[in-house]
């Protein structure tokens, strides 16, 4: 697979931004949404073929953005520590 020089430059910039922080990384990757199921699910989950996912409408939820920024500060601070408290089912 060969890329045009402009496409290669754009990909290089995208990858460099993704290395800068967790927030930038989350913007650079594809986040799977809900599964796209065409038929009835099989009873044995081991025999199920890889599932395709619908794209996510929004890139990052506000609470995820806040958590990533907090974690990034913790990573960058020497001996940094942080605690995230969220109720069950809050998509931590």
User: What is the number of domains present in the chain?
Assistant: 1
Taking only the tens place, the pLDDT of each residue in 69-80 is 999 999 999 999
Residue 51: the pLDDT is: 66
Contact 41, 48 (CB under 8 A): yes
In a domain, 39, yes or no: yes
Residue 22 lies in a domain: yes
| Cβ-Cβ contacts under 8 Å for 82 (sequence gap 6 or more) | 70, 71, 73, 74
pLDDT tens digits, one per residue of 29-70: 876 666 666 555 555 555 556 667 666 666 678 888 999 999
pLDDT of res. 47: 57
Residue 13: CB atoms within 10 Å: 10
The answer on pLDDT for 87 being more than 90 is no
Decide if 49 is inside a domain. Answer: yes
84 assigned to some structural domain? no
The pLDDT of residue 57 is: 62
> Is 29 inside any structural domain?
yes
Q: What's the full length of the chain, in residues? A: 92
Tokens of 91: 């998509």
Instruction: Give domain status of residue 54, yes or no.
Output: yes
- The answer to whether position 32 is within a domain reads yes
Domain annotation covers residue 23:
yes
Which residue range(s) make up the domain with 36? 5-76
């Amino acid at each position: 697979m060969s890329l045009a020089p402009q496409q290669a430059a754009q990909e290089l910039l995208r990858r460099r931004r993704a290395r800068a922080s967790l927030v930038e990384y989350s913007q650079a990757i594809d986040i799977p949404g809900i599964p796209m199921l065409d038929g009835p699910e099989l009873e044995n989950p081991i025999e199920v073929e890889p599932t395709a996912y619908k794209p996510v409408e929004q890139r990052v939820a506000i609470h995820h953005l806040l958590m990533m920024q907090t974690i990034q500060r913790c990573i960058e601070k020497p001996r940094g520590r942080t605690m995230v408290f969220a109720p069950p089912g809050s998509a931590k």
